[in-house]
Structure 1
Amino acid sequence: MNLIPRTVRGRLLAGITLLVSLGLLGSALAAYVMLSSFFESRAERQLTAITARVDQSLSRQRDLLSVERALRQLDGDRIEAVFVDTSGNAVVQRSKGAFARVLDAATIARLRGSPGKIMRLEAAGNPYRARYHRLNATVGTEGVIVALSLHNDEDTLDRLALSEAIVTSVALLALVGLALAVLHVGLRPLQTMAATATAIAQGDRTRRIPAGVPHTETGRLATALNRAFDEQHQAEERLRRFVADVSHELRTPLTTINGWAELYFHNDLPATTVTTAMSRIAEEAAGMRNLVEELLLLARLDQQRPLETAPLRLVELVEAIVDDARLIDPDRPITLSAPSDDPLVITGDAERLRRLVRNLLGNALQHTPPGTAVRVTLFTLPKNSAVRLVVADDGAGIDPGLRPHLFERFSQGDPVRRQGSGLGLSIARAIAEAHQGTIELRSPAQSTGCEFVVTLPSMKG
């Protein structure tokens, strides 16, 4: 059976109760031990003083009569004294009877065997501290057994133990009640958090947890949870926008395909028109296929699947893509600036990095007028910490209002004259981040042209 409470309140209460109980029991035990030690030390001092008085009384006496006088000089109801002869028999005693009865031959022999040692004796339930003191000046006696009754001391210790038990129990109950009240107040923010989180889970996305006192545990927890709820809300909004954008992107080609199909089935079209319809259907289907492939690539990059990385020469990779672009658009001046003595070896996924460079270069070719110059630059940052790829053009630039959303999915530079799916820069950013790199737009807002800068980790760094 599991005795550990499952709730935070129960565990805190159990911990507080345990600590308080140990503290109270420890202090009560310490007080009991200290008082008991004080009584024992006092008894030892009193026994030593009594034996000294007996020695002083008998210092000039030579007969048993002097022994009786010495006994009468002993004051106090707690004092017991028994003189013993050389044979171990009691000769003269000052005793109430109970102590004398406990002094049998074996007990006297044990005391005589350890002179000066204080021993504990029990007589009719009454405890004593006794010691044997050897006498040298008295005729007819060898020594004296002196004892002190511990009845009052034991009674005091018993009453102390009872008082401590009552006080400890009452204090423990009071502290448990106080702890319950403090825990109720202290855990109230957690209850509020749970209620708010439940409301959010049930659909109320506008609810947020009260911030509380800053720099406290509950305050930091509330801030972290609110940030998580905000991130979740933003992720859901991005998902809604993404689904809406995908639906919007697919609506146009699907409408085109459906229109040409209905025209074919409901009209007796000439052969040339049928050919046109099939061509348009094929074009729209190819566009949809490219869109689906780009979405699939983004989904894989979002899932952070492992890349097929290997050492590759970035200069050779970029040169091949620039040569392809020159073949596609031979009238456009496309320049490549790269170090001739350094192949810029990096570790990466060759296919993904080709896609990144093609997207940036294709973006420059597609969104600038014919004949606009495009510059591709490769170089190494100081201390070989990273490799940088820059793709710049001399086009009209990007509207400042579009810059904050430039790398978002389905972001279009010209909403009226739509070109492409609007996923190229999103894919480029996802590929750069998958390689632990960055991509950014560096061109000033007031100038013409675009300058995209990609920074990738270098193998030398």
Structure 2
Amino acid sequence: MTLRRSLLLAVAGLTAAALVAVSLTAVLALRAHLLHQTDEQLTGAARLAQSRAVLLAVDPTLRGDAVREVVSVTEYVIELRRGDSGTVRIVGGPPLPPRPLLASARLDDPAPQNVAGYRAVVVADGDFTVLVALPLEPLHATVRRLALIAAVASASVLAVLMLLARWLVTRRLRPLNEIAAAATDLADGQLDRRAPEPPDAPRTEVGRLTLAINGMLGRIEAALAARGRSEQRMRDFVADASHELRTPVTSIQGYLQLVRSGVVDLRDRPDVLRRLEEESSRMGSLVTSLLYLARLDASPAVTRTPVDLAALARDAVADALAVEPDRALSVDGPEELLVTGDVDTLRQVMANLLANVRAHTPPGTAALVRVRPGPELVRVEVTDEGPGFSEHAAAHAFERFWRADAARTTGGAGLGLAIVAEVVRAHGGEAGAAGSTVWFTLPRDS
């Protein structure tokens, strides 16, 4: 059973039960009220009949006047009995009952009682027993008429309420149908499908459900898009890695085949061993970078400890000078600048930036490392005096295995800046390049 049908049936059942209860209460209350009025009339008439009982039974000349005094309403029936004598029956209007009511009434009970379709009161005074009665049919007719009116009115009210309830339930549940349609469209591939949000969404249950569902659909779309990008990135990564590894592997295999076939004598060609060492070193460096990137992709979370970024910059410059003493490298920054992050990965970032300078600028080219503190962000810039990045190269510099033009592509596998971007992103910052400057920012409390 659908939710709409179950709600309509519940509303119909509760409304019908309420109408039946109200109608039954009204009918019973009216019946009790009419009986009470009848009993009061009968009690008063019985007292009057009791006072006139002798005249009614003994003096026929006075019977008409006495009857008019007692039978003020035409429906009254009066019966009198004196000792063991017969019953005298007087009726105001309707036909007499077939049998005397005194024959069926409880003579020792002064309370009002029902006797053969009449409401009667019996009083006794000495030898006289007087019964005053009114027919119950007018009362029953009134009650039946009220019951019929209540039934018709209740049926009409129930029909109108059901129509209103159906319209209201349909209107209020329309967002649920929209949510179901949006979920179905999402399953069919329409990732941008959303359910219309009602204007009173934050204040109603269905509105809040719509907001929650739309939020969930948005997160699902983002997750699917991220998954698609991740899969495409992995495919590109595998293809690029295979291409990059193919070159040194092919070179090593070629030299080894030449040595094994005797074409190259290592005693006459010591440069072959040097080339084998260079290619194997290049392949080892490439594999190390690939493993480092894979580890960053698998667990991008970093260790959060206080790190002196100014000290890291000075250490990185010192390490670079040890590798290339003839290059003019300097640091411009405060004595101490603390951020929250992972010291090892940040050290790798500084090393990669300076290695990028060595790989893509002529020997001896000067470079400057600037560390600039800010109220919320820390900015680190590495600026060299080389040819710099073009606008196109700067837009792709941090992509994996991407190489710029020939002026800046001597050596390297195109992974150094990609590692920088991944580490900085894991710390909540961003990296970029413009001209001859490569920079990155980190939050003070990253």
Structure 1 length-normalised TM: 0.67
Q: Residue type matched to 2:440 in 1?
A: V
Q: Residue type matched to 2:384 in 1?
A: D
**Structure number with larger C-alpha Rg:** 2
Using the alignment, how far apart are the partners of 2:422 and 2:182 within structure 1?
A: 40
1:277 counterpart residue number? 272
Q: Residue type matched to 1:63 in 2?
A: R
2:427 counterpart residue number? 435
Residue aligned with 1:371, SS? coil
Within-5 A mapping of 1:289-308: 289-304=284-299, 306-308=301-303
After the TM superposition, which of the residue ranges 34-43 and 23-32 deviates more from structure 2? 34-43
Shift in CA distance, 44/261, structure 1 to aligned 2, threshold 3 Å: same
Does residue 453 (structure 1) correspond to residue 440 (structure 2)? The answer is yes
Within-5 A mapping of 1:317-332: 317-332=312-327
Question: Is the contact made by 2:352 and 2:416 (CA closer than 8 Å) also made in structure 1?
Answer: yes
Using the alignment, how far apart are the partners of 1:102 and 1:311 within structure 2?
A: 109
- Any idea what the Cα deviations from partners look like across 1:59-107, whole Å, max 9, x if unmatched? 866223599878855567xx99999xxxxxxx9999899x99997699x
Question: Is the contact made by 1:338 and 1:379 (CA closer than 8 Å) also made in structure 2?
Answer: yes
Using the alignment, how far apart are the partners of 2:321 and 2:299 within structure 1?
A: 34
Shift in CA distance, 386/403, structure 1 to aligned 2, threshold 3 Å: closer
- Any idea what the Cα deviations from partners look like across 1:356-400, whole Å, max 9, x if unmatched? 111112212322233333111223212xx3433222223222121
Does residue 46 (structure 1) correspond to residue 34 (structure 2)? The answer is yes
Aligned length, in residue pairs: 398
1:355 counterpart residue number? 348
Shift in CA distance, 287/159, structure 1 to aligned 2, threshold 3 Å: same
Within-5 A mapping of 1:11-90: 13=2, 15-51=3-39, 53-54=41-42, 57=45, 62-64=51-53, 65=56
Residue aligned with 1:402, SS? helix
Residue 221 of structure 1, CA deviation: 7.7
Q: Residue type matched to 1:239 in 2?
A: M
Shift in CA distance, 307/185, structure 1 to aligned 2, threshold 3 Å: closer
Q: Residue type matched to 2:404 in 1?
A: G
Shift in CA distance, 323/190, structure 1 to aligned 2, threshold 3 Å: closer
Question: Is the contact made by 1:394 and 1:449 (CA closer than 8 Å) also made in structure 2?
Answer: yes
1:410 to 401, 417, 420: 401
1:421 to 413, 417, 427: 413
Question: Is the contact made by 1:54 and 1:70 (CA closer than 8 Å) also made in structure 2?
Answer: no
Using the alignment, how far apart are the partners of 2:249 and 2:77 within structure 1?
A: 118
Question: Is the contact made by 1:102 and 1:122 (CA closer than 8 Å) also made in structure 2?
Answer: no
Residue 249 of structure 1, CA deviation: 0.5
- Any idea what the Cα deviations from partners look like across 1:109-137, whole Å, max 9, x if unmatched? 8x68xxxxxxxx9999x9x9x8x9999x9
2:380 counterpart residue number? 389
Residue 151 of structure 1, CA deviation: 5.7
2:392 counterpart residue number? 401
Residue 415 of structure 1, CA deviation: 5.5
Within-5 A mapping of 1:128-143: none
After the TM superposition, which of the residue ranges 299-308 and 239-248 deviates more from structure 2? 299-308
2:204 counterpart residue number? none
Residue aligned with 1:391, SS? strand
Residue 186 of structure 1, CA deviation: 8.3
Question: Is the contact made by 1:432 and 1:456 (CA closer than 8 Å) also made in structure 2?
Answer: no
Residue 50 of structure 1, CA deviation: 3.1
Structure 2 length-normalised TM: 0.69
After the TM superposition, which of the residue ranges 45-54 and 57-66 deviates more from structure 2? 57-66
Using the alignment, how far apart are the partners of 1:256 and 1:318 within structure 2?
A: 37
Shift in CA distance, 386/233, structure 1 to aligned 2, threshold 3 Å: closer
1:315 to 306, 310, 314: 310
Using the alignment, how far apart are the partners of 1:319 and 1:214 within structure 2?
A: 57
Residue 276 of structure 1, CA deviation: 2.9
Using the alignment, how far apart are the partners of 1:333 and 1:227 within structure 2?
A: 47
Residue aligned with 1:271, SS? coil
Residue aligned with 1:272, SS? coil
Using the alignment, how far apart are the partners of 2:191 and 2:305 within structure 1?
A: 47
Question: Is the contact made by 2:431 and 2:441 (CA closer than 8 Å) also made in structure 1?
Answer: yes
- Any idea what the Cα deviations from partners look like across 1:124-169, whole Å, max 9, x if unmatched? 9x9x9x8x9999x9x97899898957866479479949x96xx98x
Shift in CA distance, 185/395, structure 1 to aligned 2, threshold 3 Å: closer
Residue 271 of structure 1, CA deviation: 3.0
Shift in CA distance, 294/68, structure 1 to aligned 2, threshold 3 Å: farther
Using the alignment, how far apart are the partners of 1:376 and 1:80 within structure 2?
A: 124
Q: Residue type matched to 1:377 in 2?
A: R
* Runs of 5+ consecutive residues of structure 1 not aligned to the other structure: 1-9, 84-90, 113-120, 198-207
Shift in CA distance, 209/80, structure 1 to aligned 2, threshold 3 Å: farther
Does residue 377 (structure 1) correspond to residue 377 (structure 2)? The answer is no
Question: Is the contact made by 2:304 and 2:342 (CA closer than 8 Å) also made in structure 1?
Answer: yes
Residue 32 of structure 1, CA deviation: 1.3
Question: Is the contact made by 1:437 and 1:457 (CA closer than 8 Å) also made in structure 2?
Answer: no
